[in-house]
A and B are shown apart, each in its own frame.
Chain A
Amino acid sequence: MAELIHPEEKIEIKAAVTKPITKIALIGNPNSGKSSLFNQLTGLNQKVGNFPGVTVDKKTGICQLAPQQKARIIDLPGTYSLYPKSLDEKVIIDLLYNQQSDLYPDLVIVTADASNLKRNLLLFTQLVDLQIPAVLALNMMDVAEKDGVKINMEQLQQDLGVPIIPVNARTGSGIAALKIVISQQLPVPNRAFFQIPEEFSGLIKPIRQYFNLQTDYLAWHFAHQYKNLTFLSETDKRFLSDLLGQYSFNSNTLQASETINRYTLINELLLDSVRVEKADTNEKFSNRLDQILTHKIWGYLIFFGVLFMMFQAIFAWATYPMDLIDEGITAINNFIQARFDGPLINLLTEGVIAGLGGILIFIPQIALLFAFIAILEETGYMARVTFMMDKIMRKFGLNGKSIVPLISGVACAVPAVMAARNIDNWKDRMITIFVTPLMSCSARIPVYTVLIALVVPEKYYLGFLNLQGMVLMGLYLLGFTAAVLSAWVMKLILKARERSYFIMEFPVYKMPRWKNVGLTIIEKVKAFVFEAGKVIIAISIILWVMASYGPGNRVAQAEQTVQQQAQQYNWTPAETSLHLSTQKLEASYAGVLGRAMEPVIRPLGFDWKIGIALLTSFAAREVFVGTISTIYSVGDEENIKTIKEKLLSEKDEAGQIFFTPARAFSLLIFYVFAMQCMSTLAVVYRETKSWKWPIMQLFYMSGLAYVCSFIVYQIFK
């Protein structure tokens, strides 16, 4: 090829094209302001995914460092050291110790809380010993100053051997300086904080050679943690375990002495550069507040007040946007149906768009719920709640932190299962995820309301205690009791992989950072819509097909019969279309399945019509009311009253009223327990990364529902 371009120019062009985006990992203690810093650096350019092979969220974002320079920021789970204790934290070592990983960083930003420098520096010194280029972002300088902590920056920078940038992740000050520093090529830190004991040098050398590692300290971590490193092959692991067998390598003792050595060194270091001049006022303020907020009586009262407010918000405020979404979806469907016709259009409107509506309608509730949870987390109050609830929850195999998912479950199990991610103990987390769907979610409300209206008289006791309201509350309590008791059973069955502990930093009370709250909401809503949405739409389509087509030409025959009857009895077009939909549904595959189910559900008092409703409820429980009104041809302008009248006039084969209290209660109990939510199963699969859990849930909850309904029906009938 002729040299058309001058060699130097060519190199320059090539460099500009192939210059890779710098990968920057963000690491730090929990509560060190890491997430705020991530939000400051990346704003709305965030993406949430999963780390390969695990359920832990992987947040990455693009940061514009300079006009021509971008960096990819990878937000790692908060951790106190490079010896991970929870599954979430294990992600960190998998990423930092595997140079072949796509996410292996060119640089790490370590965030540290300046008001608690000692503990924050432990992780920092470990990272420096790995010799990855690092910057220390010293956060919360304002808090430290208020506490009377004076830091000599120059001295500290010299002692630590890496650039230190004071930042305020709340206000954004210092971010520009941080960007300038990270846009430059930083040298590998040349300071070592820890000496590997002499007697293990014979162990380190072969590990370094075998894996081609750059530092002794990395080899040291391979020796400690090879079992946790997913990127090592079985041969690699056997090599390490054989090698370790030749040494008396006690990982626990060695880690303990390493930690003590590091702290000793950090203490000495900080003597030079940090002076504390007056007592810590911030801590005192928090402590005073805690005397009220974690008080024996006030503590619980305030907590229940907060819960009450949360539910009010979720139930009352969320209805307006939910109605709007519902109306919007109906309007779109009507618009399309008025202009086009045909099976494909029906699939689009009744299958896809209706399914989509079933997802979108939950957005207001999910957004509100996560707004509340984010605010409670941000202020530091959530830590107090888990603290107050831990002893009670522990009795049932749960953990103080399980309270958040359980409470959220009353709104919707989908975000609640996602909220269980805060629980770092594997067993506690699995039990929490397993029992959360037993909490009565808001989708059960329409079913409860219709059936209660049907069989519970509207009576008042003491002038204000509404009997129907009390039954409703009873159903919620029933769900909660079932959740707690199931947790207790699970506790006995499930084998623990790790020990349960509750060692947790008690954060200082703070004002919430609204930007973080907003970003959390966006992130959770996105995760829900895209992850659970896929499954719901698929199921909606399947259900639509089952309800629209039947074996042979049965559906066409049903259509003909209705047309004939319409002429015969002089039905209005509205009446005709009502009968049409009822007859078609009966003739469809869904109707056939309902009939086939009948022998199984007969002992519960249900007939094939309810069978169809149970089947369609599987897409989402609130579909029950719609299905029932279709089957009993209530008409489009359904409301609870007309449904009630229609159901009350329904007769069984012997001419008796079909919906007896026994049948209605049996159905109610069924809806309290049964797992009838594709979205929840989809989310549980996503969170546990295995079909084992959702399948177990499906069988356990449906079995429980069946047995309890059976008992209720047999007793009351």
Chain B
Amino acid sequence: MQKRKSVRDLKVGESGTICCLNDPEMSLKLLEMGCIPGTPVKLNSKAPLGDPITIIVNDYTLSLRLDEAGTILLK
């Protein structure tokens, strides 16, 4: 089975739409921060060492680690 594309796989400046979150524990936090399925998300920038990253979701900037971004799957 092919691995689903996640926010982690986006390039800087690239956008996608959130499909689902695959980590039940982490998803609660991400949902509260507005990472709701169906919401567009854009990879905004990466930290100098490549991790963490910032994404733009619901018109604001959210920073998170790559591991966390990997749990946000895209459509």
A positions within 8 Å CB-CB of B: 80-81, 83, 85, 115-116, 118-119, 122, 147, 252-253, 255-256, 259-260, 263, 280, 283, 286-287, 290-291, 294-296, 299-300, 383, 387-388, 390-392, 400, 499, 501-506, 508
Would you list the 5 A-B pairs with minimal beta carbon distance, nearest first? A506-B61, A259-B31, A391-B49, A296-B48, A80-B32
C-alpha gap A287/B55 in the complex (Å):
11
Dominant secondary structure of chain B at its interface with chain A: mixed
Report B1-36 residues with CB < 8 Å from chain A CB.
Answer: 21, 24-34, 36
Complex contacts, A387 vs chain B, CB 8 Å: 47, 52, 54, 63
Binding site for A on B (CB under 8 A): 21, 24-34, 36-37, 44-45, 47-52, 54, 56, 58-65, 68
Residue among A263, A280, A392 making CB contact with B49, cutoff 8 Å: A392
Also in contact, A116 and B59, with CB within 8 A (given A256-B31, A300-B48, A503-B29): yes
In the bound complex, how far is the Cα of B49 from the Cα of A203, in angstroms? 49
Q: Is the CB of B36 within 8 A of A116?
A: no
Query: Cβ of B34: which chain A residues have Cβ within 8 Å of it?
Result: 118-119, 263
Q: Report 5 cross-chain contacts, Cβ distance below 8 Å, ordered by A residue.
A: A115-B59, A260-B37, A287-B61, A499-B26, A504-B63
Residues in A whose Cβ lies below 8 Å from that of B29: 85, 501, 503
Q: Which residues of A contact B60 (CB under 8 A)?
A: 116, 119, 283, 505-506
Q: Is the CB of B36 within 8 A of A505?
A: no
Complex Cα–Cα for A708 and B60 (A): 50
Q: Which residues of A contact B44 (CB under 8 A)?
A: 287
B28 touches A259 (CB 8 A): yes
Partner of B36, one of A81, A263, A388: A263
Looking at chain A's contact residues, the main secondary structure is helix
> Do A383 and B36 have beta carbons less than 8 Å apart?
no
Answer whether A283 and B68 are a contact pair too, CB < 8 Å, given A83-B28, A300-B48: no
Inside 8 A of B56's CB, which chain A residues have their CB?
Answer: 283
Q: How far, in Å, is B65 (CB) from chain A's closest CB?
A: 5
- List chain A residues, Cβ under 8 A from B68: 501-503
**A255–B28 alpha-carbon span in the complex (Å):** 7
Bound Cα distance from A80 to B30, whole angstroms? 11
Q: A80-B32, A294-B47, A391-B52 are in contact. Are A252 and B58 (CB under 8 A)?
A: no
Return chain B residues, CB-CB under 8 Å to A400.
52
Distance in angstroms between the alpha carbons of A299 and B68 in the assembled complex: 24
| Complex Cα gap A43–B52 (Å) | 38
Q: From the candidates A83, A502, A508, name the one contacting B63 in the complex (CB within 8 A).
A: A502
Q: Does the CB pair B61–A390 fall under 8 Å? A: no
Which of B32, B50, B62 has a CB less than 8 Å from the CB of A504?
A: B62
Judging by beta carbons under 8 Å apart, are A256 and B24 in contact? yes
Q: What separation, in Å, do the CA atoms of A623 and B13 have in the docked complex?
A: 57
The answer, among B27, B45, B48, B58, for a CB contact under 8 Å with A118, is B58
B32 to chain A: which residues have CB within 8 Å?
A: 80-81, 83, 122, 259
Partner of A253, one of B24, B33, B47: B24
Give the docked Cα–Cα distance between A684 and B30 (Å).
32
Provide the bound-state CA to CA distance between A503 and B72, in Å: 13
Give the docked Cα–Cα distance between A294 and B46 (Å): 9
Which B residues are CB-close (under 8 A) to A85? 28-29
Cα(A464)–Cα(B28), bound, Å:
57
Whether the pair A252, B24 counts as a contact (CB closer than 8 A) is yes
Given A294-B45, A296-B48, A387-B54; A505-B61 close (CB under 8 Å): yes
B49 touches A505 (CB 8 A): no
Q: Which residue of A lies closest to B37 (CB)?
A: A260
Further 16 A-B residue pairs, CB within 8 A, beyond A116-B58, A499-B26:
A83-B32, A85-B28, A115-B59, A118-B34, A119-B33, A147-B59, A259-B32, A283-B56, A286-B61, A291-B45, A388-B48, A390-B51, A501-B64, A504-B63, A504-B64, A505-B60
